[in-house]
Structure 1
Amino acid sequence: MLTLALFPGVGLLAQAVPARPTVKQVKADMKRVADWQIGHFADEFRIRRGKKPPRGLGDWTNGALYVGMVKWAEIAGDDAYYGWLKKLSERQQWKLPQRVYHADDHCVGQLYLELYRKYGEAHMIAPTQAQLDRIMAATPTRDLKWKHVVSQDRWSWCDALFMAPPLWAKMSAVADDPKYRDWMFHEFQATTDYLFDKEEQLYFRDSRFFDQRHDGNKVFWARGNGWVFGGLALILPEIPKPSEQYDYFVGIYKQMAEKLVSIQTPEGYWPMSLLEADAYPTPETSGTGFNCFGLAWGINNGVLDRATYEPAVLKAWSALTRCITEEGMLGYVQPIGAAPGQAWPDKTEVYGAGAFLAAGAELVHLLEK
């Protein structure tokens, strides 16, 4: 079994709540990670050439990176980051990937809507809006039991709640039309009714995990729940309040926040299997990043009590920054998967950087208050 002792730079001992970093320090770390990721962005295409089909610019992995990168662009004081994102979107012709219903292929649309909010050019969102209209006109009705390809026309896995629902919520806000939000709300409820464990206040990744146990523990994947929790922090700003929908989403959000803080490790991470810290001692930064982002958002927006939840944010951010290499790469990102696994100090993925940048942006807002 891997242990923290194998990983230089990551402390074994429990970390006391660290002092608040300065805004300057947070932005400096964000810039290092953002610049490294942009500089190495083409690597993911080269690495997979000859082994797997190269990822497209609209792949869900990149879509998650863009979520964080656009938040960094908002506070960086340098429009070059917006320029980079705009250029990538133009190469995509502002279109979603080919799978009409698949949530993973909707994630990149969140970037298009944020760029539309900045630039106001209608062609940036027209293809996405047309595809959402097409989906609503022929909504899939199959059940949510995990059957891999045939079950992915609906949100039958918890990751999907990050990929697609924020896009629908943003489209409602941008188009000033509740039909997108209402459709999303119905589907989100169906997925939550199916995958949310009310006892543990966490989401199963998909139906295959309902009866799985490891040493008697239910298996709740850290990044999977990070996808949901981070997704809620993207959805809630787009929902009118007071409203039934806002109350619903904030209710789930608060349950998850309470649970997540209670199981954060003393080192500041969340273990890859959330109820099994002893079995998964290796740091993991993608789930931790999304949880840090979600908690900081709640404090900033008056949903969570600052005195109660800020220590968890500060510990998580400190843990994340300890995993940045000298060159600026965020390490310990669990590879693509659907269950708890392994992570390494010299391995990264673009979605890990996206989570880190989203967390950093919310921490900057928290520190500025």
Structure 2
Amino acid sequence: MLPCFANGQSINNKTQIVKTLELANHYFMNKWQDVSKIIYVPSKHKSWPSHIWTRAVYYEGLMAFNQIDPKDEYIQYAMDWGQAHDWNLRDGIKTRNADNQCAGQTYIDLALLKKDTSFMSNIKASIDHMLTTDKIDDWSWIDAIQMGMPIFARLGNITGNQAYYNRMWEMYDYTRSKLNGGGLYDTKSHLWWRDKDFMPPYKEPNGKDCYWSRGNGWVAAALVRVLDGLPKSTPHYDDYMQDYKDMMHAILIYQDKGGYWNVSMADPTHFGGKELTGTALFTYAMAWGVNNGILKKKTFKKPIAKAWAMLYSCVHPNGFLGNVQGTGKEPKDSQPVGYDHVPDFEDFGLGCFLLAGSEVYKL
């Protein structure tokens, strides 16, 4: 057996990485054998259909995992999910909400895999409907960039229609640089404020800006998922790439010596400690950059290794993932976070974990 890092798992041990991902994934698949089952959260006294964004992010991770460990059961599990919802979106094809559209990422993956464009007809209709208007301010919170932006890129890649690329840039640039008078991207720190409520003068208890780790992780993942397969001749390709590289270097200084990123990146005393989702998304984004020759292995391999060791430490013997901050939009939400804490939704944390592990495996 290859050597492991302290209390963690070596990024060199590909067999163990797959086994860890399998353990976590099988825990979830066994718990949610009925892919159409309504998601009920007792603490919120509310139910959601199973194609909301939290579940859609899980399937993003499952499709990535299937690339390194192909299994018919994974594809069938995803197919059953799409069919259970008639390949449709929450609130239908006229929805402009990126959270509702997120399921379309997996629908498109399956349409290409199975060579059946009917799987992606509804998500395409939803995006096409958006193209009929001049409205570009839908992504008013940075999570939405991950939920919706990769779909525009994929449709542009598949159809060759530049309109998808053009609108993708208009919407991204509005959120990045124009929303609320200046945009949600801090060009000095190369990090993002979650939405207009967290732009200056808002401060964390230590006086620093509020950079929520998972929110920034969503943007990092979005840029990866857009750039992966995007032709270099695409308008603004270089802008996306620059933002990606700037972010990757920016997050390095905020990584704790324990390998994780605090929920409040610039204020480790504000609900500080291990948190899986933001750490997993950063790990995914950094590993992808190294794997594609964009980031220097010499600079990023150690931070990735430390992060993966930390992520591994969150996995229970039965596959349950601890240290997951549940839904919310800032550091204080869904607290406390701990190894034995059960989040309100278990699915999206696993999706982030599978994305991270699938890229770490390729290192």
- TM-score normalised by structure 1 residue count: 0.88
Aligned to 2:86: 93
Secondary structure in 2 aligned to 1:269?
A: coil
Kept in 2: contact 1:15–1:315 (CA 8 A): no
Residue of structure 2 aligned with 1:317, choices 298, 308, 313: 308
Cα distance change, pair 268–51 in 1 and its aligned pair in 2 (3 A): closer
Distance 1:16 1:331 in 2: 15
Specify the alignment match of 1:183 in structure 2: 167
* Structure 2 residue 231 is matched with structure 1 residue 240: yes
8 Å Cα contact 2:11-2:17 kept in structure 1: no
Does the residue aligned with 1:219 lie in a helix, a strand or coil? coil
Q: CA offset at residue 139 of structure 1? A: 3.6
CA distance in 2, matches of 1:262, 1:49: 38
Could you list the per-position Cα deviations for residues 200-232 of structure 1 after superposition, in whole angstroms to 9, with x for gaps in the alignment?
110000011112112211111110001100111
Is 1:167 aligned to residue 155 of structure 2?
Answer: no
Secondary structure class of the residue paired with 1:54: strand
| Aligned match for 1:27, one of 1, 6, 18 | 18
Q: Equivalent residues in 2 for 1:11-160 (5 A)?
A: 19-41=10-32, 45=38, 47-48=40-41, 52-98=45-91, 100-140=95-135, 154-160=138-144
Partner of 2:266: 275
2:196 corresponds to 1:200 = no
Distance 1:312 1:224, change over 3 A: same
1:345 aligns with 2:339: yes
Tell me how large the CA RMSD over aligned residues is: 2.1
Does the CA contact (< 8 Å) of 1:106 and 1:164 recur in 2? yes
Percent of pairs with identical residues: 27
How far 1:16 sits from its partner (Å)?
Answer: 10
2:223–2:240 CA contact under 8 A, matched in 1 = yes
Residue in structure 1 matched with residue 210 of structure 2 by the alignment: 219
Shift of 1:50: 9.6
Q: Which runs of 5+ in 2 are unaligned?
A: 178-182
Map of 2:198 onto structure 1: 209
Q: Matches of residues 228-267 of structure 1 in structure 2 within 5 Å?
A: 228-267=219-258
- For structure 1, list consecutive stretches of 5 or more residues without a partner in the other structure: 1-13, 145-153
* Counterpart code for 2:253: S
Contact kept? 2:63, 2:106, Cα under 8 Å: yes
Question: Displacement, 1:51?
Answer: 5.0
Contact 1:332 1:345 (8 Å CA) reproduced: yes
Distance 1:271 1:128 in 2: 35
User: Aligned residue for 1:149?
Assistant: none
